[in-house]
Amino acid sequence: MSNSESRDEWTTGTRQAASHAVVAEALRQRIALGGFGPGDRLPTERELSAAFGVGRNTVRQAVRELADEGLVTTTLGRNGGTRVAPTRPGRDGSRAATTATIRASLRDYMEYRLAIEPYAARLAAERGAGAARRELVAMLATDVAHLGEYHRCDTAFHLGIATAGGNEVLAEAVTRARAEMFVGGNALWLGSDWSRVYPAERDFGSAFREEHEAIALAVLSGDGDAAEARMRDHLHDSHRQFLALLDQFAAQD
C-alpha cells in the first residue's frame, strides 16, 4: 500500500471519529463564546465540512441537533441559511465557563500529542522510506487558499509523518488525537481575527510552509533528534495560537 493510500485511510478514520455530536458541540461552544452572535449566519454546509474535515452529512446532522435545541434556525431561499437564534434567558454568562472548558480540553490534547508526535517524527526520519520523506517536503509547495485547505494539508502532513515511521499503532494514536481536537479547535478559527495569530500579510500557504518546513527538512535529512525537536516546537506554537484566540474571546464583552 502506498503512503498516499495509507494517509487516505487514516483521514477516513479521522472523519469517522469526528461524529455529528462532536461537530455540534464545537459549534455550540463557538456560539457560547460569542463567535456567532444572535442573528449571525453560520458558514455554509460546504464551508463547515471543509473547516472541520468531516462529511457534509455529518455537518447536516450537527446543525439539525442545534436546531432541535433552539440554538439555530434554518430558512430556505436566496436569503436563507442557518442563523443563530436570538439569545434565550439563562444562556448569558456562559462564555467564561466555555472558555475554561475549551482551554482544559486543549491542554489535555496537546499534552497527549506532545507525548506521541515528536517520537513519530523521529521514527519517520530514522526509518521512513525515502519516497515518503520526500513527499513531506513536496507538500510544502501546496497552494492553500482558505481554512479548509489548510486543515486538509495540515492533516495530510501530520498523518504522513505518522505513517512514514511504519508503526501502525502510533499512527492510529496520532489520528485519534487529532480527530476531535481539531473539530473543536477549528471552530475557534471560523470568522476569527487572524491578526492575533498571524500578520495580515501572511496567507494560509505561507503559514503552512513556515510552520512545517523545519520538520520536513529534518525528516528528509534523516536527523531523528532534529525532527523530534522541531515537531515539539511546532506543537508548542500551535497551542499558543489556540490560546491566543481563546484570550481574544474571553476579553470580549
Quick one: angle between helices 147-164 and 95-127, nearest 10?
40
DSSP 56: H
Beta-carbon contacts of 3 under 8 Å, excluding residues fewer than 6 positions away, are 129, 131, 132, 135, 160, 163, 164
pTM of the model: 0.74
Q: CB-based contacts of 225: which residues, under 8 Å, 6+ apart?
A: 122
pLDDT given at position 253: 52
Confidence of residue 5 (pLDDT cuts 50, 70, 90): very low
Q: Which of 9-13, 137-141, 176-180, 183-187 has the highest mean pLDDT?
A: 137-141
From the CB of residue 49, how many other CB atoms can be counted at a distance below 10 Å?
20
Q: Does residue 8 have a pLDDT over 50?
A: no
Q: Is the model's pLDDT at 123 over the cut of 50?
A: yes
Rounded-to-integer distance, Cα 30 and Cα 50, Å: 17
Average pLDDT score over residue span 61-69: 92
Whole-number Å distance between alpha carbons of 226 and 45:
40
- Name residue 86's amino acid: P
The pLDDT confidence band at residue 133, using thresholds 50, 70 and 90, is very high
